[in-house]
Amino acid sequence: MTWHAAVGSVGRVTPIEAPLVRVLADDGSYAPTADAERYLPLIDALTDAELEQFYRDMVVIRAIDTQATNLQRQGQLALWPPSRGQEAAQVGSARAARAHDTLFPSYREHVVTRIRGVDPLDIIKVMRGTSHGGWNPTDPANGNTRIYTLVLGSQTLHAAGYAMGLAFDGRTGTGDVEHDEAVVAYYGDGASSQGDVHEAMVFAASYDAPVLFFLQNNHWAISVPVETQSKVPLVGRGAGYGIPSVRVDGNDVLASYAVSRTLLDEARSGLGPRAIEAVTYRMGAHTTSDDPTKYRGSDEEQRWAQRDPIARMRAFLEGRGAAAALFEDVDAEAADAAEDLRSRAVTLTSPERSLIFDHVYSDPHPLMAEQKAWLNHYEASFEGSAS
Amino acid sequence: MTIESMPMSRALNAGLRRAMEDDPRVLLMGEDIGRLGGVFRITEHLQRDFGDRRVLDTPLAESGIVGTAIGLAMAGFRPVCEIQFDGFVFPAFDQITSQLAKLTSRHEGALSMPVVIRIPYGGHIGAVEHHQESPEAYFAHTPGLRVVAPSTPNDAYWMIQEAIRSNDPVIFLEPKSRYWQKGEVELEASALPLHASRIVRRGSDVTLVGHGAMVTTLLQAAALAEAEGTSCEVVDVRSLSPVDYGPILDSVRSTGRMVYAQEAPAHTSVGSEIAATVMERAFYALEAPVLRVSAFDAPFPPAKLEGTYLPDADRILEAVDRSLAY
């Protein structure tokens, strides 16, 4: 099935056809495309518990994402970039990554980060202004998840370099998938125009670096449509670097999972980098500061609402006979997670002023010591003078 | 004590070699640095001796070099990047200033970024545009970076090793017009700290301060002044960020006069910053305002004009005369 045939009736059409891997139709029925055939054994091997977990991930994180948007609206956060609509692409790739893999997110990967163990509160810290990084990627609890990068595409070079290091150190490509490491670099259709993404693909290909470039094409870079970034499907770019690339329906969690798993295992086996274009849709605004009514129509949003990744997976599970209790349980967990996030978010306090100075350098630095001492002295001069 | 006479180019090569021998995690990367040994041959034979996984002939992309160096540092390496010429560093500016410089801070100390970026910089080699610039102020202005510039073969040998040992990113500016001048290198001595400035000539009337290739010019000016009866003290700043003000202030408090010389344009330059700080901290010791001798605030001109554009000993002496006239 081609990209035209897949979405031509419901949405905006990319001008040149590209094969698409899709397993679940919009209505949740099991209807693999021809290009999905090679991935079906991986999907057939998924247990009921795993399928339910995919659904649970999507629902719980959407509730967290919605809660974060609400917190911003209530003045508790400076900003929130919603992940709404991109849950299937993110759950599929994050669940496909193995525990020893390292993931480099951009800044909308709230689904990926939570699955890997990052506390959503750590992202709240970034958006509330109490921390730049939010979490420590070297803490095992965070599942080798690097921190967010706000300059678009910069992290793809870090991912490529990290993967080069894995190759140089022999931590990949031995043939043992349980130990061979790989890297996922997340970015979007807007970032795909950045020179750093191009350079990352050049370096990764030249050094056979085990990195999966995972592009979420959510169709909009704030207000600029994907057609301005590329006249051809973005999946086509990989071929120019010698990077095997696959286009997947990013609103189909099963397709996202199976293709990510396959390509990541290819990359870790020493075959070099791989790339995925996950075709999805940013259902919400770019961030809470954005107003999509200025640049896109509600008809388009409604068409994509019919392709909601959560509704699709729910219909699939219902078709397999999942009990109503499952969905009630997931909804309850989602509500609890959202409430838990709210209660903790509103209590986050400002960091100590020493944070300005303490970690600018790893080694001692005279200017930091001097200016920190001056600020402390200055602040102390006001103590006791308050009326 | 083992002392050898060698040009700065060979001293850098020897320093890099020793750093690679001392620490297997040190890795060199850059354009043409492997088989060719670099366009200035600073890395000559290092790929032959350490292999192409420790000396990387990278694709031709400066942002890619620094960006992947960051990833390699995250994977536990200590990358040393060569930027082929000063004017080619700007494609990597975002990775240096927004990423490399801020990652330790962004991680609240959980991540160190031991990356060295070597940049052959400065004029007096008669080259085409983009090959003779002095971009140090951009980097000295960026919190999170350390910026150093050796002026002698001995400093080059020791400072490159110290820079590689640093757990912070270091912009390592190599005065390329001095690559081929020989000097004595003390191969077994202990190194002066990376961020120390140093008095390199004693004098009593005026303090001359500068960095990189300009230190040699300052010494020439001091010799000429001596013949005319003016005694100049010369301070080699060595470290542009942080700046070690101790020897500079000591000297100014003794002479009461200071001239800063640099190849960079004056406006918001390292010399401007040091001049301002000296005036804040040694105001009552000064007999004259601190003067700056710099390139003009214009782009580096076609090479046939570089001798007019860049400060020389005569322009420094002109400033010495102005200082003494106060």
Q: State the average pLDDT for chain A.
A: 94
Q: What's the pLDDT score for residue A5?
A: 36
Residues B217 and B177 in one domain: no
Question: Which CATH number goes with the domain that contains B37?
Answer: 3.40.50.970
Rounded to an integer, what distance in angstroms lies between the CA atom of residue B302 and that of residue B13? 30
Domain shared by B273 and B179, yes or no: no
Q: Please compute the mean of the pLDDT values over residues A217-239 and round it to a whole number.
A: 95
What pLDDT, on the 0 to 100 scale, is given for residue A270?
Answer: 96
Residue of chain A nearest B246, judged by CA positions: A366
**SS3 string of chain A?**
CEHHHHHCCCCCCCCCCCECECCECCCCCECCCHHHHHHHHHHHCCCHHHHHHHHHHHHHHHHHHHHHHHHHHCCCCCCCCCCCCCHHHHHHHHHHCCCCCEEECCCCCHHHHHHCCCCHHHHHHHHHCCCCCCCCCCCHHHCCECCCCCCCCHHHHHHHHHHHHHHHCCCCCCCCCCCCCCEEEEEECCHHHCHHHHHHHHHHHHCCCCEEEEEEECCEECCEEHHHHCCCCHHHHHHHHCCCEEEEECCCHHHHHHHHHHHHHHHHHHHCCEEEEEECCCCCCCCCCCCHHHCCCHHHHHHHHCCCHHHHHHHHHHHCCCCHHHHHHHHHHHHHHHHHHHHHHCCCCCCCCCHHHHCCCCCCCHHHHHHHHHHHHHHHCCCCCCC
Are B228 and B208 part of one and the same domain? yes
B152 & B235 share domain: no
Verify whether the Cβ–Cβ distance B242 to A367 is below 8 Å.
yes
Are B94 and B13 in a shared domain? yes
Asked if A282 is an active-site residue, the reply is yes
Average pLDDT over residues B207-236: 98
Q: How far is CA B67 from the centre of its chain?
A: 22
Q: 């942002």: which residue's tokens?
A: B63
Q: Which of residues 122-151 of A touch B (CB under 8 A)?
A: 131-133, 136-139, 146-147, 149, 151
Is the CA virtual torsion A183, A187, A192, A195 positive or negative? Answer: negative
Q: Which residues of A touch B112 (CB under 8 A)?
A: 362
- Considering the candidates A295, A344, A359, A361, report the single residue annotated as catalytic: A295
Q: Which of A131, A137, A161 sits opposite B68 (nearest CB)?
A: A161
The dihedral built from the CA positions of residue A148, A152, A156 and A162, taken in this order, carries a sign that is negative
> Do the chains contact at A199 and B61, CB–CB below 8 Å?
yes
d(CA B125, CA B122): 8
| Residue B1: predicted pLDDT | 73
- Alpha carbon dihedral A138, A142, A144, A149, in 10-degree steps, equals -90
Mean pLDDT of A251-276: 98
Interval A288-339: pLDDT, tens: 999 999 999 999 999 999 999 999 999 999 999 999 999 999 999 999 999 9
Q: Work out the number of other CB atoms within 10 angstroms of the CB of residue A6.
A: 23
| Active-site residue, A286 included | yes
Model pLDDT for residues B142-192, shown as the tens digit of each residue: 999 999 999 999 999 999 999 999 999 999 999 999 999 999 999 988 779
Model confidence at A385, pLDDT cuts 50, 70, 90, reads: low
Domain region containing B268:
198-325
Final residue of a structural domain among B125, B152, B186: B186
Percent of chain A topping pLDDT 70 = 95
The pLDDT value given to residue A4 = 39
The pLDDT assigned to A386 comes to 56
Cβ contacts (< 8 Å) between B75 and chain A: which residues?
161-162, 164-166, 169
Q: Which residues pair with A364 in a beta bridge?
A: none
pLDDT band at residue A8 under the 50/70/90 scheme: very low
B192 in a domain, yes or no?
no
Please count the structural domains in chain B: 2
Residue A13: count other Cβ atoms within 10 Å of its Cβ: 14
Same domain, B175 and B205: no
- Mean pLDDT over A219-228 rounds to 95
- Decide if pLDDT at A280 tops 50: yes
This model of the complex carries an ipTM of 0.97
User: What does the angle CA A340 – CA A346 – CA A350 come to, to the nearest 5 degrees?
Assistant: 130
| Same domain for B202 and B169 | no
CATH number at residue B205: 3.40.50.920
Contact status, residue B310 vs residue B316, Cβ threshold 8 Å? no
Among chain B residues, the shortest Cα distance to A198 is held by B64
Average pLDDT over residues B112-124: 98
Report the pLDDT value the prediction gives residue A361, as an integer from 0 to 100: 98
Burial of A214 (0-12, 13-18, 19+ CB in 10 A): buried
Judgement on whether residues B307 and B159 belong to the same structural domain of the protein = no
- Minimal CA separation from A325 to chain B, in Å: 42
Cβ density class B233-263: b for 16+ within 10 Å, e for less: bbbbbbbbbbbbbebbbebbeebbbbbbbbb
- Residue B259 in 3-state DSSP? strand
Closest in A132, A138, A196 to B67, CB measured? A196
Per-residue pLDDT of B59-116, as tens digits, reads: 999 999 999 999 999 999 999 999 999 999 999 999 999 999 999 999 999 999 999 9
Residues B178 and B207 in one domain: no
| B191 located within any domain | no
CA distance A213 to chain B (A): 15
Q: How far is CA A256 from CA A130, A132, A252, in A?
A: 34, 30, 6
pLDDT of B35 higher than 80: yes
- What percent of chain A has a predicted confidence (pLDDT) above 90? 94
Average pLDDT (A127-131) is 96
8 A C-beta contact, residue B58 and residue B32: no
Asked if the structure places residue B142 within a domain, the reply is: yes
pLDDT given for residue B189 in this prediction = 82
B133 with B254, same domain: the answer is: no
The reply to whether residue B104 touches residue A360, judged by beta carbons under 8 angstroms, is yes
Q: Pairing between strand B26-30 and A274-279? A: unpaired
Of the residues B131, B158, B186, the one at which a domain ends: B186
In a domain, B246, yes or no: yes
Q: If pLDDT is split at 50, 70 and 90, which confidence band does A384 have?
A: confident
For residue A151, give the nearest of B68, B75, B94 by CB distance: B94
Q: Say if the Cβ atoms of B108 and A131 lie within 8 Å.
A: yes
User: Is B193 inside any structural domain?
Assistant: no
The token pair that represents B172 in the structure block: 């390592």
Q: Kindly report, residue by residue over A109-125, the tens digit of the pLDDT.
A: 999 999 999 999 999 99
**Residues of A whose CB is below 8 A from B94:** 151, 154, 196
pLDDT at A58 over 90: yes
Q: Per-residue pLDDT for A11 more than 50?
A: no
At residue B32, the pLDDT reads 98
Closest CA to B155 of B138, B172, B177: B172
**Hey, which residues 186-245 in chain B have their CB within 8 Å of chain A?**
195, 242, 244
pLDDT confidence tier of residue A16, bands split at 50, 70 and 90: low
Q: Which residues of B touch A196 (CB under 8 A)?
A: 63-64, 67, 94-95
According to DSSP, residue B300 is labeled P
Q: Specify whether B210 is located in the same domain as B238.
A: yes
Residue A13 above 60 pLDDT? Answer: no
- What was the pLDDT predicted at A14? 47
pLDDT band (50, 70, 90) for residue A216 = very high
pTM as predicted: 0.96
Shared domain for B158 and B81, answered yes or no, is yes
